[in-house]
Every structure is written in C-alpha cells, then in structure tokens.
Amino acid sequence: MIPAGPSPAIDGDMLLPAPRRGLPSPTMQHPSPERSTPSRPAKVFEAIARNEPHVTETHLSLQGDDAVLEVEQFQLHYGAMHALHNISMRIPRGKVTALIGPSGCGKSTLLRSVNRMNDLIDNVRIGGSMRLNGDPIYAPGVDVIELRKRIGMVFQKPNPFPMSIFENVIYSLRIDGESDKRVLAQTCEESLRAAGLWEEVKDRLQDSALRLSGGQQQRLCIARAIAAEPEVLLLDEPCSALDPIATGRIEDLIEELKGEYSILMVTHNMQQASRTSDCTAFMYLGRLIEYGPTDDIFLQPHLRETEDYVTGRFG
Amino acid sequence: MDTSQPSPSLRKRGRRERKTRRSVLVAERVARTAISLGGGLTIATVSLICVFLAWVVIPLFGAATLSPARSLAGGRASEPIVACATDEYASLMWVLERSGRVSVLRLDTGATLETLSVSEQAQPAALGFDAASNVVAVGTSDGAVRLATLSFAVSYPDTAGSGEVLSTLRPEERTPFAGGLAERLADGQVRCVRLELSISEPFELGTGAAKSPPRLLDLNVTEAGATVAALFEDGRLTVGALKRTTNMMTGAETLRFRGGDLPAPNAPQSEQPIALRLLGAGDNVLLVWRDGRGVRYDARELRSATAAESLELLQSADVELTRVGAALGERTVLVGDSKGGVGAWFRTRPEQAGTVDGARMARGHWFAGDGVAVTAVAPSATSRSFAVGRADGRFELYFLTSEKQLAEGRTPDGSAVDALCLSPREDALLVHSAGGWSAHQLASHHPEASVTALLRPVWYENYEQPEHVWQSSSGADDFEAKFGLMPLVFGTLKATFYSLLFGVPLALLAAIFSSEYLAPRTRVAVKSTIEIMASLPSVVLGFLAGNVVAPLVQNSLAAVLASFYCVPIALLLGARLWQLAPQGLVLRLVSWQRLLVITLALPLGLLTASVLGPWIEDVAFGGSLEGWLDMQHGGAAPGWFLLLLPVAAIGATFAIARLGGGWVRRVSQHWSRARCAQFDLLRFCATGVCACLFAALAAALLSAAGLDPRGSLLDTYAQRNALVVGFIMGFAIIPIIYTLSEDALSSVPEQLRQASLGAGATPWQTALRVIVPTAASGLFSAVMVGLGRAVGETMIVLMAAGNTPIMDWNVFSGFRTLSANIAVELPEAVEGDTHYRTLFLAALALFAMTFVVNTGAELVRQRFRRRAYQL
Ligand SMILES: Nc1ncnc2c1ncn2[C@@H]1O[C@H](COP(=O)(O)OP(=O)(O)OP(=O)(O)O)[C@@H](O)[C@H]1O
Ligand SMILES: [Mg+2]
C-alpha cells in the first residue's frame, strides 16, 4: 500500500523555525507574581470578547519540568472558525495534566491535534508547532502513521473493536506485524494488568470485547493504548460515560499509571481534575487562560476567571 | 431566547395552549391510511402474482383421472385381438381379430355397427399392423400379402337433404347413418364418422419359388413408402420395401416388393420367435423369442442386411416374455414379461458400440411390476403414453419418458385384460377381457411433467444416457419436447457466478476505497456518479455486450485474457515504483498519488497486454487460442500455467510473508524510507518469480498426469459466452453492490475508525482489520442483493449469452438462463399446455430464487443494524 502522507492542511507558519527545546518562548514568559492576585476584576473574558490576544497565565513552578510535549503558539482553524488561538504549553513528563474548560472551548481539538487526528477532517488549517520529545509533529516529512504509534489515545465513549478482548489489547502489535505468540500473550497480560482489568477478564480473553461493561470497556481501551507503550497518553473525558464506581476505578488507574506514563487528560469534573492531576490547564473559547500546578489552580489561581470556573461560579 | 423577557403575545395569553391542531391530526391519519394501504396493496400484489403463478403451475403435477368402467354390450371378441383403434372423437372403434374379422363398435352403446373382414380366407396366415397409418398387412397361406387400410372418414352431411333420420336428431344424440355413426353437435351441425376399409391387390414376398406362408409379419408405413418384414414358416426371414407402380394404360395400381433375405437366426427350430418388429423408419428389424432373446438386424441396405446384435431383453431366466409393443414412432419397443415388468428398449449410440451400425439397444426405462404377468400393451397414437393390462384384470396407464404412472383400474369381473385401446385424444381407455369391452373416460393433462422429469436427468429416446435437456420445440414431427429445468437453473447460476466473480471484487474494493480514502465531498460525487451507472438500461448493456464486446473479445481474445494478468500486475508494480519516487514529489502529490498511479498504470497494463497477449498466443498456444481451446493443437501445460498463476501468486505472497515476515520487520526497523521501498520492490519481484516457478511446476505435474483444463473450465470458444456476460453483467451489478456496501462501511461508527487510526494503523489496515469485519454482514447483504439482481437479469443474458441451454462450467461457452428462456419462449407457447405451464414453473423458480436471496440479504442486514446499534 501507499503509506498515507502528512496532511495537506499544512500552513506556512508552521515552517517557521521553532524555538529550541527547553528554552521558553517569549510568549511563555511568565508574568510577574504581582499580577497574579485572584481578586483582580474579570477583565480577561471581556478582552477575549473584544477579540484581543490573550497571554496565557503560566505558573512559574512549571518552568523547570522536563516536557514530553511542547506546544508552541499553536493555531487551528476549522474552515473560517478559529478554534485554537496561540496555545503554548509544556506537558511535563511522567505527570498527569488536566485540561478543563467549558464545553466547546477546544479541549478535544487540542488533544486531537497532538496525534494529528484532525488531519482526517476537511478544511483544517494549522499554525504554530508541537514537539513530541523534541521531534516536530507538524513538519513536512513526518510520517503520521509512525507518529500516531508513539501516542496513545482514549476517547470519551468506550470504543472497543468488535473482536475478542485479546485481539483488542494487542491491536497495535498486530498492525505492526508482530506474530510471535509469546510476545503477544505477554503484552496482553501486562497491559491488562496495568489497566487493572486482568483479574476480571483473564478467563475469557477470547470473548467479544463488546460483552464487557462500559467501565471495563473503557479500561480495555486504556489497556489497548498502553500496549503500544506510548510516549504520551491522551484521555478525552475518559469517565464521562461511566458511573461513579467505574469512574473511581479509572481514576485509581490513572493514579497508578502516573510516573510511568505522561498523561494529558480532558475532564469536566473538577474533583477529578483536582484529585488525579498534577497540572491543570484552563481553556476558554480556544484560548489557554491559565496553566499551573493543580493545587495552585484550584486553591490560589492567579486569575479571577479561573477561580470562578473551578469554584463553579461560572461555566 | 431570554426567558426573563417573555414576548408580549405570550404574556397576554398566559400559558400557550398545547393542543395538537386538527389539520395535523387529519394529515397524520391520511398519511397513516395511505401508507398502510400502499404497503398492504404491495404485499397483496406480490402474493397475488405468486398465487397466479402457482395456479398455472399446479395442474402440471395433477394425476390423470379415470372414470368407473362402463360395460359395452356387444363386440366381445372370440379370437385374440390383433389391433384396435378408435376415431378421434372416440365415437367408434374397430377391432381386428386374429381371424381377420373387423367389428365396428359404437362406443356409446357398445352395439356392433357392422362386421367386415380384411381377408377373403377364413384364417389369414399372419397379420401385421402399422399403428401410425392404420394399415394391416394380411398374409395368406399362399404366400401373398395384401394391405388393408382401416381409416375413419369424418363428414358433416347436410341435414336438410338427407331425410328424416338426421333432421330429427337432437343435440348430443347419435344414430347410425350411411354405414357410420352420426351425432348432432352442440353447435347444431351433424358429424358422421364411418370406417372405410380398402384392400389392395396382393403382392408376393420374395421371388418365385419361395411360396411359403408367412408366420409373422410387420409393416411400417412412412411418407417415403412402406417396408414389410416377414418370417416364413420355413424359417426364412425377409425384409423389403414396397413400390407402388401405376399402369399407364389402365391406371391400375400394383404393389411390388423389393427386398432380400436376412441371415436366419441361429436358434433351434423348435423355438419360434414370438414377435417381429420393424423399428424406426423400417431400417431395423427386431426378432424376439419367448425366453427374452432378441436379435436386431441392420436393414439399412435391404439387399445386404445383417444381424447387428443379439439381445437379452429379460433380466432373469425364470421370466418369460409375454407381450411386445412399440411406443409412438416405433423406435421404442415395449417388452412385457410374466412377472409384470415392462421394459422400454431403444437404440443408443454409445462410443464403443461394437456393432456394424454403431448402435446398441438399451433399456432406457423400466416399469417394475408386482409379479402379475403382462397380458396387453397398448401405446397411444399421439403421445408417449401407453397402457399395460395384467392377468388379474388390473391395468395401468404410464408415461414412458417421465416413467410416471398416470392412472390405474381393474376390469369389473377381474378377468385378465387381453386388449387395450387408447383413443387418439387420450380421453378414453377401452379394456377388453373375458367379460367383453368396458370403457373408461380418461382425463390426463400433462403426463410428460413430473417432479423427477423436470429436475432429474431423463433418459430420452435414442440418448446415450439420462440427461438434463431443455428442448421445447423442433422442426421434426415426431419430436418429443424435453422439459428439464436443470440446464436453465444451471445457466442462471453460471451467469450469476461469473458476473459476481467480476463485479463483487471491483464493487467492494471501490466501496472500501471511497469510504476509507476519499474526502467526504469527493465521496459524495463519486457515489452519485456510480449510482448513475445503475440507471443504464440493461438492454443497452445487453446490446453492448452482444454486438460490441463479444466480437471485440473474440477478435482480440489473447489480449483480453492477458489484460486480466497485466493490469493487476501493472497496478501493484506502479504502487511500488511510486514509493521509490523522491520524497518531496510524494509529499506534494500526496492526495493525488493513487489517482496518478492508476492513470499511469492502467493504460500501461493494457498496452502490455495487447503486445504480450498475441505473443504468448503465438509462442505457447500455437498461434490460435481458439484452436487450442478446441483441442486442435497444443498441450495442456501452458493452460494450466496461466490458470494456476494467480493461485500461485497468492500462495507465494503468503509463504514469503509467513517465512520472512518477522525477519524483515526486525531488519528493516531502522531503514530509510527509500531503502524500504527498494526492498519492497525486490520482494515483489521475488514473489513474482516464485509464483511463476510454482505455477510452472504444478502445470508440468498436472499435464504429466494427463489432466487437461480443456473439457471442463475451458473449452471450445463460442462468441457469446460467460466471459462476456460476466463482464457486462458484472458492470450492471457493480452500482448496487457498491452503493449498499459503501453505506454499510460508512455506517461503521466513526469512533472505531478513529481508535484504529489513532493507534497508528494505516487506512488500509483499518479497513481490513476493523471496518470490513464490522460491516461484514452489511457487505454480505450487499453482495446478496447484487446476486438477486444477477439472478433475475434478463436482457443482458438474452442478448449476450447465446441462449444455448447446455450445462458446463466452460467460461467460453454460452448458456440460457431461466429469465431469458421465459422471455424467448413464452410468446410462442400455447396457453395451457405443458410448455406454457413449465415456463410458468420456471418463473416461479426464479421468483423463489430471488425471494430467498433478497429475504436472506434483508435478514442479515437487520441483524447487522442491531449489531451496529450496539456499538
Ligand atoms: N470537525 C469540526 N468541524 C468544525 N468545527 C468543529 C469540529 N470539531 C469541533 N469544532 C468546533 O470547535 C470548537 C471546539 O470544539 P471541541 O470539540 O474541541 O470542544 P470541547 O472543548 O472538547 O468541548 P466538550 O467539552 O463539549 O467536549 C467548537 O466550537 C466546535 O463547534
Ligand atoms: Mg470534547
């Protein structure tokens, strides 16, 4: 087969030389602590409404972290609609980063941009750059297929393939042509154990995955993502279709995966974000408003808007 | 809308009245009634069509009915009955007894109308009868033979001029009139039937000295003339033709016999043959003994006739032969025995006959009795039905070809049946026993049709073996229609198979391509274009197939066949070469790459085929593929090679992937893109070479084992053949399969596609591993709907399939489908007869086939919908 090339929707500005890894770009220059008083009047939303550019409030304590994923001045248009404005953030390695924000603010769009799933959509234009462990994601010559193999993604709704549990877990190995039965069985067990599903399904690996419960299916999807040993794991509202108990299990799972995997997670659940994540990013209308350690965002955010949002006064 | 500021009108009226408006209710009711009415009517129409078809077909399988016996008062024969016949209207019957006496009976009362004699002598030496012409050969003891013609004359006398007798005749009443029987018909006319007997001048059998009286005589009258065979008391057997000469002066006609003696059978003189039969057109003579021995003479050359074969007509030694008759046309001899069995023997022409004329008698049909001896056998004069009478008074009516028992009965007093007579219209059966004649009314409608005769191989007269044959009409008079449905069903399946073989892969691949690779907007455009293809009238396609494609394919057969190999190879090779292109170019043309490769590779493949095809034809097939297919020259090996090549290629691909896959994956992990592409090209070439080697080896082995592909899958080339039909009908079914399977593929939840692509699978891997398995039942039902369309398709097969109802899988031969057959033959079928009803049966079969296929497809699709809903 002819391998799928990179997306045609490559804008000129992404060809600009990206700032070197490790050095914060000028826009990421952190504002002075004096500005970050939560009692400041809510001016940011008004500025956004006037379509003025917003400079992300990035907490200083994140600066030193080793980033697995760097997003720099990332722009995304769906046709005429400007869905992401100048997003710049560094996702720390081995930690859980939560993306929060009201519905439609572009969280999923940002997540899908990481593994270039937006390529599948017509009329998408992109600007800025992203790097995965230093390798550009949006550059001519990037093999999208190879790129996606390095990133795992779990969707909002559990989406197991209509095959056996075993085949679901080892799907990424199968498409790589792995046929060694020992390797397959071992990967399957390890991934299922990591996803906390092994004890429940070890006797029925050949059963259809569709017969699992919703929570089990979601953990199966996580196991499937883990089996590929991804460098980043993207979770898009992984618990929104689940009941509280299943949600709790997934949260425990995320807790366990922390350290070994770098996780970028979208959630609408503030408790979940505060419980499971290390860093939190608040987005609004395609802008990244504030980005900092979870404790700071929830307890002493720099911006009034963030505080309003996390305390439920708005959104 | 902001709820804090309700609009003025809302505030004024307070809570809005939430009542459905009357017009909405009326519209709802009208719509519901119209829809249920429409649906109900559709179902009713379909069921009505089905009922109508069944209503026409069912009489085919009805049994004949025989009314209870009606004893006839007079005409009890005191001597053995040699022959008897009724007129067409079954109002009179003549009965010829051994003594030469002919009595004419009224069939309504049974009274004897008159008594005549065919012989001046009290006791003729021998009598021979030809049923087709109603001529009796009467041999007298002085060795002379006369021909007596017994014919019924029908006249419609003018009632006014013929006096009292006829003018007072009431409708349906009969009265003797002018030596015959007059009957007033329902329309007021009077019909008079009278037996006319004319006896010719005597003629001598053989010349001069031999004036022995004949013991057995047989006569065969055809349009060309008459043939007579005689066995004399002295054992001499002679056969010859009668010539009619007219004296110019007197105008008197004389008959002259010209013939020769046959070699006497080497049987002991004590045992005399019991029957002598002229077969067919009088060119074969059969002599039969009581113990079942028989000798057939080849008498095509009357002067040098010889014994062709000796026969054993009975199966075991303790059985005796009791009656010998001949079915209509005198080609089939019916042999009744003392155990009640009746065998029907006719000549066949097997490959190794070992006889002087290359023919052999074979028992084509066997009617096993139940142990009660056969005492009478009477064929119908118009069909291949015949009646059998038994020693215990039972009698049955059979149809020869279908071996179907039509009716049975018993004489009133249970005495042995010694003569039977079937009226020409088969509406009356007359049975003679010790108690005299009894008459039965008979209603037999479609004796030649039976489930076995329609669906199983049938042994037709003069065929080598039982066969499936559809042949509803012919120029010959004594032709028997053959209604084997199997060749038509087979033709339908063959058309379907070859068109699916061509259409399904293309349609499915196109559907996968457009649902997985094309951008939504392009997909819509492509889909509606392909759907326009479906609106091409099939008669146009049929015309194209028959008048354009068929001659084209025939003229450049080699190139066309070569393109089946060259085009796929060119496409695969093109894809691999494209990977070698510089990366920059690839990226710039990334969305056009497939189209580009296809537009370059397709014409190149065709060009190669047009050059390579004729070259291969010259080198491997002796310069003419058609000649090679016709077995005129060349060996089996090149054919096997080409047939096995695709299989070998698939095998080689799998073998190489299986054996070297893991190693390649490990080694190539860190290779550059260009290196991988080069390696891929190399592997492709290696696979090709391996495939050629495998195929060559297998071809050599198979042809060394004496196997030849010609004769089964390949055979003599006909211009209108399954290849052309498969090509064009495949084209006709592509749109529907494509549309339905595209729908099935697109309705696979997007999240599955995303999960797979997100895991780093290529679109092709996604399609094969996730999308196609998930949509499998939808794809299946798409194929089934296409199959349903192919089964029912008429115009294309009618115009391009050659319409020859033959049964073989040869790609290069024509066929006839159920639908085409109905279209061709229904206009000329006579309403209500067997042919007409059989065509309706074909329609019913077609209906059942498409119904089953479509219902199956629908069931599968509904299951698929449920499953898709679960996802
Ligand atoms: N395929 C698309 N084509 C056009 N616009 C899109 C597309 N997908 C998303 N959008 C728009 O982009 C904006 C961001 O959508 P996105 O799905 O990223 O929101 P979200 O933050 O994930 O919301 P939610 O929390 O409800 O999932 C929305 O206004 C949405 O309407
Ligand atoms: Mg979302």
Tell me what pLDDT residue B649 has: 93
Tell me what pLDDT residue B207 has: 60
Return d(Cα B37, Cα B343) in angstroms, integer: 60
Question: Could you tell me which of A139, A117, A118 has the C-alpha nearest to residue A130?
Answer: A139
DSSP per-residue letters across B442-500: EE---TT--HHHHHS-B--TT-SS-B--EE---S-TT---EE-SHHHHHHHHHHHHHHH
Inform me whether the C-beta atom of residue A211 falls under 8 Å from chain B C-beta atoms. Answer: no
- Please indicate whether, in this complex, the C-beta atoms of B769 and A2 are within 8 angstroms of each other: no
- Please indicate whether, in this complex, the C-beta atoms of A117 and B758 are within 8 angstroms of each other: yes
- Please indicate whether, in this complex, the C-beta atoms of B759 and A225 are within 8 angstroms of each other: yes
Cβ atoms within 10 A of the Cβ of B348, count?
Answer: 17
- For ligand 1, residues with CB inside 6 Å are A 78, 81, 83, 103-109, 121
Q: Does residue B393 contact residue B417 with C-beta atoms inside 8 Å?
A: yes
Question: Could you tell me which of B115, B88, B91 has the C-alpha nearest to residue B104?
Answer: B115
Q: Does residue B102 contact residue B93 with C-beta atoms inside 8 Å?
A: no
DSSP-derived letter for residue A25 is: P
Mean pLDDT of chain A: 82
- Please indicate whether, in this complex, the C-beta atoms of B594 and A117 are within 8 angstroms of each other: no
Q: Give the CA radius of gyration of chain B.
A: 39
Tell me what pLDDT residue A279 has: 92
The residue with greater pLDDT, B108 or A130, is: A130
Give me the torsion for CA of B328, B333, B336, B340, rounded to 10°.
-70
pLDDT exceeds cutoff 90 at A188: yes
Inform me whether the C-beta atom of residue B660 falls under 8 Å from chain A C-beta atoms. Answer: no
Angle at B400 between CA B397 and CA B404, to 5 degrees: 60
Report which ligand 1 atom has the smallest distance to the Cα of A101: 21
- Please indicate whether, in this complex, the C-beta atoms of B661 and A3 are within 8 angstroms of each other: no
User: Among partner residues B754, B756, B759, which is closest to A228 by beta-carbon distance?
Assistant: B759
Q: Give me the domains of chain B, ranges plus CATH numbers.
A: 70-454 (2.130.10.10), 486-560+708-870 (1.10.3720.10)
CB-hemisphere CA count at 13 Å for B607? 8
Length, in residues, of chain A: 315
Question: Could you tell me which of B542, B500, B490 has the C-alpha nearest to residue B845?
Answer: B490
Token representation of residue A255: 């807790």
State how far residue B758 is from chain A, nearest Cα, in angstroms. Answer: 6
Question: Could you tell me which of A276, A268, A300 has the C-alpha nearest to residue A105?
Answer: A268
| Ligand 1 mutation pick, A7, A75, A100, A109, max ligand atoms within 8 A of CB | A109
Ligand 2 centre distance from Cα of residue A133 (Å)? 25
Residue of A nearest to B763 (CA): A4
Residues lining ion ligand 2 (Cβ < 5 A) are A 108
| Ligand 1 mutation pick, A81, A118, A270, max ligand atoms within 8 A of CB | A81
Which tens digit of pLDDT belongs to each residue from A27-77? 444 444 444 444 455 677 878 878 878 888 888 887 777 889 999 999 999
Q: Does residue B779 contact residue B682 with C-beta atoms inside 8 Å?
A: no
| pLDDT range class, residue A22, cuts 50, 70, 90 | very low
Q: At what angle do helices A214-227 and A244-257 cross, to 10 degrees?
A: 20
User: Chain A contacts of B750, Cβ < 8 Å?
Assistant: none
Token representation of residue B181: 């029987």
Inform me whether the C-beta atom of residue A121 falls under 8 Å from chain B C-beta atoms. Answer: no
Residue of A nearest to B869 (CA): A210
Inform me whether the C-beta atom of residue B681 falls under 8 Å from chain A C-beta atoms. Answer: no
pLDDT exceeds cutoff 90 at A124: no
Token representation of residue B631: 């077995």
Ligand 1 centre distance from Cα of residue B308 (Å)? 96
- Please indicate whether, in this complex, the C-beta atoms of A152 and B867 are within 8 angstroms of each other: no
Name the residue with the closest Cα to ligand 1, atom 28.
A104
Return d(Cα B220, Cα B230) in angstroms, integer: 12
Inform me whether the C-beta atom of residue B665 falls under 8 Å from chain A C-beta atoms. Answer: yes
Tell me what pLDDT residue B267 has: 64
Beta-bridged to residue B410, according to DSSP, are B394
- Please indicate whether, in this complex, the C-beta atoms of A5 and B587 are within 8 angstroms of each other: yes
Token representation of residue B339: 């155990």
Q: Does residue B320 contact residue B374 with C-beta atoms inside 8 Å?
A: no
Inform me whether the C-beta atom of residue A9 falls under 8 Å from chain B C-beta atoms. Answer: no
pTM for the full model? 0.81
Q: Does residue B293 contact residue B312 with C-beta atoms inside 8 Å?
A: yes
ipTM strictly over 0.90?
no
pLDDT exceeds cutoff 60 at A160: yes
Residue B638: left (phi > 0), alpha (psi -120 to 50), or beta? alpha
Report which ligand 1 atom has the smallest distance to the Cα of A107: 21
For chain B (871 residues), the mean pLDDT of every run of 10, in chain order, is: 49 66 91 95 93 91 84 80 88 87 86 83 81 86 84 82 70 80 83 87 69 83 83 82 78 77 70 84 85 85 80 84 85 88 88 81 87 89 88 89 87 87 89 87 83 84 84 72 88 91 92 87 89 87 89 89 91 87 72 81 92 88 83 83 91 86 74 81 91 92 86 81 89 92 90 89 90 87 88 87 85 89 89 88 90 85 66 53
| pLDDT, mean of residues A120-147 | 86
Ligand 1 centre distance from Cα of residue A55 (Å)? 22
Beta strands at B284-288 and B293-298: parallel, antiparallel or unpaired:
antiparallel
Tell me what pLDDT residue A9 has: 40
Tell me what pLDDT residue A35 has: 44
**Could you identify the residue written with the tokens 């899958």?**
B713
